[in-house]
């Protein structure tokens, strides 16, 4: 594509663009090659402007920058006010605006994005749609390899994925949209048809600093909705009403308890799952799910609302919900031969801890004990560490405190902040998560439950800038098979 065509939407009228052919887009100088357009983006650790000359040396044919003085460059330098927005615009243009050809459902919120997206995808499959799911679990679509990365990819990767979806005949995409992606304009040129808000609780405050800033980042998804779109909002969340006011599109109000557009008219829960009826006007959807927990009640309600908004028949929605019996790393249950149970969940915020542990505590038999193994991530919001410790202690009989991606921080310092939230000595501390998990499993007796929080199905432990192979699931499955 000609450079002039690529940047026509980001430069002022009258700006002369040299004749240059572009065959590749990049924001990392090491990826630059002959024919590349290099966009200098300012990041949290590095400034792309410091690598412009390297990109040119590697063959970049043109550059987009923020206008700072870069001296005399040997290639065209397109100066813009916001390179982050520019990379989104040129990526969408380069791949011919693929989301114009797709129905895109974006799901945002602190918790529940992955599970809600998985249920929506299951509903789509039950309806015979050629659909795709995009998020924490990677790409889930026929003919695509699932490679886990960021919850929401960078704009160049994202627009290429969408173009590949269109080329493969996919018509509907359900994707998780993180607050980082919204704040960093990664989805600025994604044309959403439906936006879903699950909930908001303290998380990522190392990045957003305040809950109001976190809320405003999430709200960008609803600002982006066209008037022809649909905003699906969980009004059971304290921020639900405020989020609804951020949307120019019509709002569908959700609540578990009625007084909403879509709600549970009947609901019962047990260790065996969730049963009930969701009502939306004259439509009723029967729910018979093997998922458990109050949070999954909300996730099911959100997913069903997407199906209803798209006109999918109630009996098909019912089949789709029933077929989604579990989501990787979310309330996964493993049964040991001695009668003990291990439950793995990706929960890594105080709100998620409260929801997961209160649910599991209610399942525990009177003769069993509840063990909780967890840790807190390094280089992330430190204020939630004592709160997570307090919640875990409240519901457990014994805590197993272990590393969970300490990154560049000292494991001892992270654990000390967790201990600030504890009021008893009913805990064991390990600086090796694997050894801690093995010890915890070995201590389980019949009817005991061990809840393993934080990592879900991650396959690595981030320590001092390196990712070391590690899997909670592998250790648990070995214990299951050993028994």
Q: What tens digit of pLDDT does each residue of 6-54 get? A: 998 888 765 778 899 999 999 999 999 999 999 999 877 789 999 999 9
Which residues is 275 bridged to in the sheet?
A: 268, 288
Helices (H) and strands (E) in the chain, counts: 16, 22
With 80 as the cut, is the pLDDT of residue 206 above it?
no
Tell me which residue of 263, 453, 283 sits closest to 357, measured CA to CA. 453
Write out pLDDT tens, residues 370-395. 999 999 999 988 999 999 999 999 99
Count of CB atoms situated within 10 Å of the CB of 336? 19
Tell me which residue of 163, 165, 157 sits closest to 31, measured CA to CA. 157
Q: Is 192 helix (H, G, I), strand (E, B) or coil?
A: coil
Alpha helices in 176-252 (DSSP H): 179-183, 205-208, 211-223, 240-244
> What pLDDT is recorded for position 408?
95
Distance CA 325, CA 282 (A): 27
When pLDDT is averaged across residues 279-296 and rounded to a whole number, the result is 92
When pLDDT is averaged across residues 129-144 and rounded to a whole number, the result is 92
Q: What DSSP string runs through 403-465?
A: -S--BTS-HHHHHHHHHTT--S--EEE-SSHHHHHHHHHHT--TT-EEEEES-TT--EEEETT
Count of CB atoms situated within 10 Å of the CB of 262? 21
Q: Which backbone phi and psi does 285 adopt, to 5 degrees?
A: -120, 120
With 90 as the cut, is the pLDDT of residue 136 above it?
no
Asked whether the beta carbons of 425 and 393 are under 8 A apart, the reply is: no
257 or 161, which is more confident: 161
When pLDDT is averaged across residues 218-229 and rounded to a whole number, the result is 94
With 90 as the cut, is the pLDDT of residue 423 above it?
yes
Mean pLDDT for all residues in the chain: 92
Write out pLDDT tens, residues 168-201. 999 999 999 998 889 899 999 999 999 999 998 7
Cα separation of the two ends of the chain = 60
When pLDDT is averaged across residues 145-170 and rounded to a whole number, the result is 86
> What pLDDT is recorded for position 257?
84
For the question of whether the overall pTM of this predicted structure is more than 0.85, the answer is no
Q: Can you name the CATH fold of 3-83? A: 3.40.1390
> What pLDDT is recorded for position 349?
87
With 60 as the cut, is the pLDDT of residue 447 above it?
yes
Asked whether the beta carbons of 126 and 217 are under 8 A apart, the reply is: no
Which residues is 429 bridged to in the sheet?
A: 401
Tell me which residue of 73, 19, 20 sits closest to 51, measured CA to CA. 73
With 60 as the cut, is the pLDDT of residue 208 above it?
no
DSSP 151: S
> What pLDDT is recorded for position 483?
56
**Confidence class for position 150, pLDDT limits 50, 70, 90:** low
The region, left, alpha or beta by phi > 0 then psi within -120 to 50, assigned to residue 140 is beta
> What pLDDT is recorded for position 103?
98
Q: For the chain, give every domain's residue range.
A: 3-83, 98-323, 332-482
Q: Which backbone phi and psi does 104 adopt, to 5 degrees?
A: -115, 125
Distance CA 295, CA 292 (A): 8
Lowest-pLDDT range of 48-52, 162-166, 347-351, 417-421: 347-351
> What pLDDT is recorded for position 345?
92
Asked whether the beta carbons of 40 and 65 are under 8 A apart, the reply is: yes
Nearest-10 Cα torsion for 242, 248, 252, 253: 20
Distance CA 346, CA 472 (A): 11
Distance CA 45, CA 54 (A): 17
CATH number of 98-323: 3.40.1190.10
CA angle 390, 391, 396 (to 5 degrees): 100
Q: Which helix (H) or strand (E) holds 208?
A: helix 205-208
Distance CA 246, CA 330 (A): 30
Write out pLDDT tens, residues 336-366. 999 999 999 988 889 889 989 998 898 888 8
CATH number of 332-482: 3.90.190.20
Output the CA–CA distances (angstroms, integers) from residue 396 to 60, 292, 336, 343, 399, in the order listed.
57, 19, 19, 14, 7
DSSP 1: -
Distance CA 151, CA 176 (A): 6
Tell me which residue of 279, 356, 447 sits closest to 287, measured CA to CA. 279
DSSP 101: G
Q: Tell me the CB-side half-sphere exposure of residue 439, using CA atoms within 13 A.
A: 17
User: Count of residues for the chain?
Assistant: 483
Output the CA–CA distances (angstroms, integers) from residue 342 to 273, 324, 332, in the order listed.
17, 20, 8
Give Cα 247 distance to the centre of its chain.
21
Output the CA–CA distances (angstroms, integers) from residue 248 to 102, 189, 228, 402, 454, in the order listed.
21, 17, 9, 45, 36
């Amino acid at each position: 594509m000609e450079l002039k065509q690529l940047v026509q939407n980001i430069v002022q009228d009258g700006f002369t663009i040299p004749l240059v052919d572009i065959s590749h887009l990049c924001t990392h100088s090491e990826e630059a090659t002959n024919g590349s357009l290099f966009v200098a983006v300012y990041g949290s650790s590095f400034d792309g402007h410091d690598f412009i000359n390297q990109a040119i040396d590697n063959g970049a044919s043109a550059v987009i920058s923020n206008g700072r003085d870069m001296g005399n460059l040997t290639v065209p330098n397109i100066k813009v006010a916001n390179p982050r927005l520019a990379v989104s615009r040129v990526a969408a243009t380069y791949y011919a605006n693929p989301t114009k050809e797709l129905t895109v459902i974006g799901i945002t919120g602190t918790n529940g994005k992955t599970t809600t997206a998985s249920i929506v995808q299951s509903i789509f499959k039950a309806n015979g749609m050629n659909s795709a799911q995009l998020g924490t679990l990677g790409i889930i679509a026929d003919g695509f390899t699932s490679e886990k990365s960021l919850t929401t990819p960078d704009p160049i990767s994202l627009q290429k994925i969408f173009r590949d979806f269109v080329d493969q005949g996919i018509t509907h995409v359900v994707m998780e949209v993180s607050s980082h992606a919204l704040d960093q304009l990664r989805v600025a040129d994604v044309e959403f048809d439906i936006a879903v808000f699950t909930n908001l609780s303290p998380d990522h405050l190392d990045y957003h600093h305040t809950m109001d800033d976190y809320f405003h980042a999430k709200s960008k998804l609803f600002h982006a909705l066209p008037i022809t779109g649909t905003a699906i909002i969980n009004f059971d969340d304290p921020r639900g009403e405020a989020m609804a006011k951020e949307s120019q599109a019509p709002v569908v109000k959700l609540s578990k308890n009625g007084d909403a557009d879509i709600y549970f008219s009947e609901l019962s829960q047990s260790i065996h799952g969730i049963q009930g009826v969701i009502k939306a006007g004259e439509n009723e959807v029967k729910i018979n799910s093997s998922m458990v927990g109050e949070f999954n009640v909300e996730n099911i309600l959100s997913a069903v609302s997407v199906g209803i908004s798209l006109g999918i028949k109630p009996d098909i929605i019912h089949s789709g919900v029933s077929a989604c019996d579990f989501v990787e790393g979310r309330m996964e249950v493993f049964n040991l031969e001695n009668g003990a149970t291990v439950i793995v969940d990706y929960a890594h915020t105080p709100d998620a801890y409260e929801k997961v542990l209160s649910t599991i505590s209610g399942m525990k038999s009177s003769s069993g004990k509840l063990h909780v193994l967890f840790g807190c991530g390094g280089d992330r919001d430190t204020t939630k560490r004592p709160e997570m410790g307090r919640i875990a202690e409240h519901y457990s009989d014994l805590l197993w405190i272990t590393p969970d991606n300490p990154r560049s921080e000292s494991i001892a310092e992270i654990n000390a902040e967790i201990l600030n939230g504890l009021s008893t000595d009913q805990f064991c501390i390990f600086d090796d998560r694997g050894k801690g998990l093995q010890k915890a499993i070995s201590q389980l007796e019949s009817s005991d439950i061990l809840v393993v929080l934080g990592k879900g199905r991650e396959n690595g432990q981030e320590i001092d800038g390196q990712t070391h192979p590690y899997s909670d699931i592998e250790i648990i499955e070995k214990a299951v098979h050993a028994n």
